[in-house]
Structure 1
Amino acid sequence: MLKLNLSTEPHWLDLGHGVRLLVEPLTTAIMLAARSDPAILDATVDAEGTAAPSNDDLARIVAKAVARIVVKDWEGVGDAEGKPLPLTPEGIDALLELWPIFEAFQTDYIAGALILEQEKNA
């Protein structure tokens, strides 16, 4: 059986290392909006009009595009002196360049929302 979560309220996503993101639920509309992000459009076609990025590069670019749409706040992100940083698109991109953070976001948010949870037959 498919379990639908119809909540439209943002929720906190724990990415480990003391980092939490307040994210909107991942919807079809958000994925379609992310696909229209200029970074994705630029990355998918090179100057000659042929496909350019690897699957890994595209996953990183898509994760950043989605995050720039859905992340509404963050906790546990600071500068070199430990002073909390304001949420910015550039900050989100920089955060997702950190491998453990990217992997947690990819696994817990993007893949987690795309995998349909099924109940076993009792």
Structure 2
Amino acid sequence: MLALDLINAPRWHDLAPGVRVQMRPLTTAVMVATRSDPAVEAAPEEASDEERAVAFAKALARRAVLGWEGIGDADGNPINPSPEAIDALLDVWPIFEAFQLTYVSKGLLLEQEKNASALSPNGPSAGATDIAKPARKRAKTAQAG
């Protein structure tokens, strides 16, 4: 069953110890806008899938991040989110991975669920029966060396 979350409010996501990011919900509007982001469209044709994924994640984060805690400049002073700061944040590998797992993958979970195949009502999985004969007795335990 698809459970709809009717509360379409920003949420806080913990990306690392002491680092929290407030993000808007991952909606269709956010995804569609990210797909047409100039940085995503500017990716060269020879760019690898990984390079495209990073460009997309950064564009998505620039649209989604509303606020954060535990992020500062080189001197340790808290800074506000900006496009440059968000890109720099996602350049930190553990943060990028956490962003993908806590924000992006939850939005794509439904996409994965629809990729599962049901049994075919009239294909090879219909009415499948076991054809192997049951074992007559238990297998012997291997001897210790």
1:91 corresponds to: 85
Q: Matched residues in 1 for 2:61 and 2:83: separation?
A: 9
Q: Matched residues in 1 for 2:107 and 2:18: separation?
A: 22
Q: Matched residues in 1 for 2:27 and 2:59: separation?
A: 14
Deviation of 1:52 (Å):
2.1
Count of residues in correspondence between the two structures? 112
1:62 corresponds to: 56
1:34 corresponds to: 34
Structure 1 unpaired stretches of 5+: none
TM-score under structure 1 normalisation?
Answer: 0.86
TM-score under structure 2 normalisation?
Answer: 0.73
Deviation of 1:17 (Å):
3.0
Deviation of 1:21 (Å):
0.7
- 1:79 and 2:73 are equivalent in the alignment: yes
Q: Which moved more, 1:108-117 or 1:67-76?
A: 108-117
Q: Matched residues in 2 for 1:86 and 1:29: separation?
A: 24
How many percent identity over aligned positions? 52
1:7–1:25 Cα contact (<8 Å) kept: no
Counterpart code for 1:28? T
- Secondary structure of 1:115's aligned partner: helix
Deviation of 1:96 (Å):
0.2
Question: 1:20-48 deviations in whole A, cap 9, x for unaligned?
Answer: 111000011100000111110000xx3xx
- Secondary structure of 1:107's aligned partner: helix
Higher relative contact order (CA 8 A, sep 6+): 1
Counterpart code for 2:92? L
Q: CA RMSD in A?
A: 1.5
Q: Which has the higher helix share?
A: 1
1:103 to 87, 90, 97: 97
Q: Matched residues in 1 for 2:106 and 2:23: separation?
A: 13
Structure 1 runs (4+) greater than 3 angstroms displaced: none
